[in-house]
Amino acid sequence: MNNWFDLDQSNWPIVVAPSDFASDDSLWTIFISRWKMFHEAASPTLDFAQLAVTCRRYLAGDPPPWPGANLRNGCLVVDFVDQSGFTTGTSKGGNAFTGLVYTAEVLINDFLDNQDVILPDPNDPYQYQPTGWIGTLPSAPWVIYRPEKHTGIQTSQFTITPFTDVQMLSGGHSMPGVNEAIGAGIELVGMLIGAAIQATGVGIVAGGTGIGASIGNIAETILTPLFTDVVLAWVSFKDPVRAFSAGWSHYYEHFQTGADNAYTLDSIIALVAALWATRRFFCHELVVANGAPFIVGDQGQGDFFLGDRIGSTVKGMHAGQIFVDQVSQLELAWDRNTAPDWKVTIGTARETEDPFGKALKMLQSVMGGLADLSVL
């Protein structure tokens, strides 16, 4: 119990770096977890908001993670950083000849789906001027890999997945209060019928209790299977932009799990998750030599690192077309016969996972849902 009230962070082994609430421009969300592992609970929210998680050890003599921090030597500092800039202004692509298109994603009127808004091109950030600064900024990503003979790319694999369904479904149970209201209405009608029968002298009053309540209870019991989870049990949303751009032949409906009752906050969150799961995305996996020409490194030690936005061109696409997204994976490997190479994954590698990995993630989601329902 004493650990709950231990507010002296100088003794903590793990701390979460605080952020300025007034200047935080990341997406808002509702975070609910009941005995879930952190990765299982936070992964969908972090993916949708394109936030990166950094975990660094604080060693005595290092600059404090935030002004006034008093931490023990070796403390693990966890921070959530926005290296995407996709809601404040960045680029999702462009052309090598005309430049990147500066855009920001905003919620459209239904508050479910996002839409790209083209912004005026910004001035070159002062960090990119000859000042000795090294790195990349989400507002103006400059690292672009081009698969040519004289670049550091060893191998390249590009996968693009178009959006699929245009209508999202969720729910399964009526919104709270609907089943109860219908049941109460049936009981009330039964009581009125019984009262009418009793008033005509047909009914028999025994012990001061009329037959109205009995008729209402019997009718409610018999009709319960017929009306339970029938009215307002499903919620749907059709994306008009997708439907228009997909033409007359396209995928139709996608059912999203995770919401028990329709027309609740859970169902709205499930619809947002469905739009995200069926979105258009790409994955570009590159094996590159470090320093040819870009250096992989973090905190001023390289041009880009995990979570940073970088671009790449793809052979066979339109001339000069650039794809820009976050670096989702970095792997460094070498052996006695080869020099160290970095495997850089730009975008999401969800569709390139092996079937066994996908099955494990689905099983993890199912077990988490059963735990929420107190089944396990």
pLDDT > 60? residue 205:
no
Domain boundaries, the chain: 2-81, 90-162+280-371, 176-231
Distance CA 258, CA 238 (A): 19
Mean pLDDT comparison of 49-63, 126-140, 182-196, highest-scoring range: 49-63
Distance CA 351, CA 349 (A): 6
On whether the CB atoms of residues 95 and 320 are closer than 8 A, the answer is: yes
The strands making up 251-255's β-sheet, listed across from edge to edge, are 234-238, 165-171, 251-255
The residues near 303 (Cβ < 8 Å, ≥ 6 apart) are: 134, 135, 136, 143, 294, 295, 296, 297
Buried b (16+ CB within 10 A) or exposed e, 331-365: eeeeeeeeeebbebbbbbeeeeeeeeeeeeeeeee
Looking from the CA of 226 toward its CB, the CA atoms found within 13 Å total 8
pLDDT band at 315 (very low <50, low <70, confident <90, very high): confident
The residues near 85 (Cβ < 8 Å, ≥ 6 apart) are: 137, 138, 139, 309
The residues near 4 (Cβ < 8 Å, ≥ 6 apart) are: none
How does DSSP assign 119-170, residue by residue? -PPPPPPGGGSSSS--S-BTTB---EE---TTSSEEEEEEEEE---EEEEEE
Comparing 106-110, 115-119, 163-167, 273-277, which segment has the lowest mean pLDDT?
A: 106-110
Residues above pLDDT 90, as percent of the chain: 19
On whether the CB atoms of residues 313 and 147 are closer than 8 A, the answer is: yes
pLDDT band at 373 (very low <50, low <70, confident <90, very high): low
Would you state the structure tokens that stand for residue 300, as one six-digit string? 């001023």
What pTM does this model have? 0.74
3-state secondary structure of 268: helix
- Burial label, 209 (beta-carbon count in 10 A; 0-12, 13-18, 19+): exposed
Quote the mean pLDDT of the chain. Answer: 81
pLDDT band at 143 (very low <50, low <70, confident <90, very high): very high
Q: What is the pLDDT of residue 286?
A: 92
Q: What is the pLDDT of residue 208?
A: 40
- Decide the pairing of beta strands 153-161 and 144-145: unpaired
> Per this entry, what is the length of the chain?
376
On whether the CB atoms of residues 83 and 21 are closer than 8 A, the answer is: no
The H or E element that residue 32 is part of is none
On whether the CB atoms of residues 107 and 114 are closer than 8 A, the answer is: yes
Comparing 155-159, 168-172, 211-215, 254-258, which segment has the lowest mean pLDDT?
A: 211-215
